[in-house]
Amino acid sequence: MGKTVIPFGPQHPVLPEPLHLKLVMQDERIVEAIPAIGYVHRGLEKLTEIKDFTQNVHVVERICGICSFMHAMSYCKCIENIMNIQIPDRAKYLRVIWAEIHRMHSHLLWLGLLADAFGFESLFMQVWRNREKVMDIMEETAGSRIFLSANTIGGTRKDLTKEMLVKIQVILDEIESDLKQIESVFLNDYTVKHRLVGVGVLTKEDAYKLGATGAMAKASGLKTDMRTTGYEAYGELDFEPIVHTDGDSYARTVVRIKEVYQSIDLVRQCIAKLPEGEISVPVKGNPKGEAVVRVEQPRGEVLYYVRANGTKNIERLRVRTPTFANIPALLHMLPGSQLADVPILILTIDPCISCTER
């Protein structure tokens, strides 16, 4: 039987961003998959070398529109580590609140895209209707729906008033209530399960060996979550990584749904424990040295490396995003799958190509 090469993407209804896969097929079954990226490469790492190190907070935020807050937080943490800056406790909690709100927005966005991918239009709209409430929180608290620009080196630039905190809790209750109804469709509907259960199984050993991270790793049974290292205020919060053992697309969906509930809980914990005080400390001088920071983004672990030489410009910024780490796992999952399952498989790694290419 001869082999056929089918190009998948870069433009495809299921892909929010351009990703190209060369699929080597035998009948309807995939034999090999070769990725081609580079459609949205912007050279942002290089740009950070010519910008002032304080301006870079806004540059890295634009690496990704979905986890922008955590990019800025990771960069700030790198510079703070190099300059040995202790940020105020209130700023630590504020960062966690916004980070978890971003996680909710990311996961709800993904759930909507997944529903759209398997043709469940009304479910897609219900999920995104719920996501709008998260966006409203971001707009109300930071003045922007996507790029919050709330981080600064030394803490945060914005604070949350008592009225805002009350309103956040009211909206979180609504989100949680709506999600319970949506969740039952994702987890119990026959057609949804038919598209997800047993599709794209990644074993625990493969997930580890292939460097998978985030929901990809957790759904395969790896208890890994950088938040448990206790950065910012996470060390003072009560939570456990969400883990599933099946390793298929359904397990990855379960992990992300549970992580939305976990984020709601973490925001509530932060609001209950939020200390009074300053939100930032003044920063003097220029950074000199190098640091690595790892943060748990919605898609998994992000690594930030910064080398600074004592001038206002940093020498090198390196960002390894979670999707970059999950692509080898995707390449491992695709061979043996049916062509019809490719969109679902690509989506279940929650690909962010803007992050991957920077």
Partner 1 sequence: MQTKYRSIRGVCMLENTIEISKDDLLSEVQNMDYNNYRFVTATCVDNGDGTFDVYYHFDKNYEMKNLFVKVKKEEELPSISKIYFCAILVENEMKELFGLNITNIVVDYGGHLLLTDDAPDAPMAKQQIVIEERKADV
List interacting residues with partner 1 (CB under 8 A): 34, 36-38, 41, 43, 45-46, 208-211, 226, 228-229, 288-292, 294, 301, 303, 305, 307, 309, 315-316, 318, 320, 324-325, 327-329, 357
Least distance in angstroms from the C-beta of 229 to partner 1? 5
Q: Which helix (H) or strand (E) holds 109?
A: helix 89-117
Least distance in angstroms from the C-beta of 36 to partner 1? 8
Per-position DSSP letters for 118-129, written without gaps between them: TT-HHHHHHHHH
Strand pairing category for 151-152 and 155-156: antiparallel
Least distance in angstroms from the C-beta of 289 to partner 1? 5
Least distance in angstroms from the C-beta of 121 to partner 1? 34
User: Whose Cβ is closer to partner 1: residue 272's or residue 292's?
Assistant: 292
How large is the C-alpha radius of gyration of the chain?
20
Report d(CA 340, CA 332) in Å as an integer: 17
Least distance in angstroms from the C-beta of 333 to partner 1? 13
User: Whose Cβ is closer to partner 1: residue 18's or residue 133's?
Assistant: 18
- Type of residue at 195: R
User: Whose Cβ is closer to partner 1: residue 128's or residue 305's?
Assistant: 305
Report d(CA 82, CA 51) in Å as an integer: 18
User: Whose Cβ is closer to partner 1: residue 177's or residue 309's?
Assistant: 309
User: Whose Cβ is closer to partner 1: residue 149's or residue 228's?
Assistant: 228
Q: Is residue 152 left, alpha or beta, with left meaning phi > 0 and alpha meaning psi from -120 to 50? A: beta
Other C-beta atoms lying within 10 Å of the C-beta of residue 238? 7
Report d(CA 294, CA 118) in Å as an integer: 33
Q: Which are the contacts of 263, defined by CB distance < 8 A and separation ≥ 6?
A: 100, 101, 103, 104, 107
Least distance in angstroms from the C-beta of 31 to partner 1? 15
Six-digit token string for 78: 């790198």
Q: Which are the contacts of 28, defined by CB distance < 8 A and separation ≥ 6?
A: 338, 339, 340
Least distance in angstroms from the C-beta of 51 to partner 1? 15
User: Whose Cβ is closer to partner 1: residue 45's or residue 236's?
Assistant: 45
Strand pairing category for 29-36 and 4-8: unpaired
User: Whose Cβ is closer to partner 1: residue 264's or residue 355's?
Assistant: 355
